[in-house]
């Protein structure tokens, strides 16, 4: 990936790290407290809060679990609310559907 593509990604990851730090502080947790509850080292928490681009998704999920916000991870790409994906699928729907004319329906 070139640096132009990386810039918005890095900004988003940095912002996420700042939000994790703020959530931790609002709950009155030290980095050591959060690390203990997540089962990771303090340096892992620091890297996550600094927005280190190589952080594993598992660590984000662990932090969200500690904060009571794990459900938000599942909802990131909530497919029933994916308006772009649903629009693309709808565009491929046939304009007409022909009925299957059978003499007698088969029993299953």
CB atoms under 10 Å from CB of 48, counted, come to 26
CA angle 60, 62, 68 (to 5 degrees): 100
Give one word for 39, left, alpha or beta, with left for phi > 0 and alpha for psi -120 to 50.
left
Q: What is the mean pLDDT of residues 58-67?
A: 96
Strand ranges inside 1-108, DSSP E: none
Residue 16 clears pLDDT 90, i.e. is over it: yes
Q: What is the mean pLDDT of residues 39-61?
A: 95
Domains of the chain, first to last: 3-91 (1.10.260.40)
How confident is the model at residue 98, as a pLDDT?
86
Q: What is the mean pLDDT of residues 13-41?
A: 97
User: From CA 8, how far away is CA 57, in angstroms rounded?
Assistant: 18
How confident is the model at residue 37, as a pLDDT?
97
How confident is the model at residue 79, as a pLDDT?
84
Q: pTM of the predicted model, to two decimals?
A: 0.73
Where is average pLDDT lowest: 12-16, 67-71, 102-106? 102-106
Non-local (6+) Cβ contacts of 66 within 8 A are 29, 34, 37, 38
């Amino acid at each position: 990936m070139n640096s132009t593509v990386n810039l918005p990604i890095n900004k988003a990851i940095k912002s996420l790290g700042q939000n994790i730090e703020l959530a931790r502080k609002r709950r009155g947790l030290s980095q050591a407290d959060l690390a203990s509850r997540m089962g990771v080292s303090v340096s892992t928490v620091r890297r996550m809060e600094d927005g280190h681009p190589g952080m594993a998704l598992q660590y984000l999920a662990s932090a969200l679990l500690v904060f009571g916000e794990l459900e938000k991870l599942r909802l990131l790409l909530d497919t029933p609310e994916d308006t772009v994906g649903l629009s693309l699928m709808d565009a491929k729907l046939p304009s007409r559907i022909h009925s299957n004319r059978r003499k007698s329906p088969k029993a299953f």
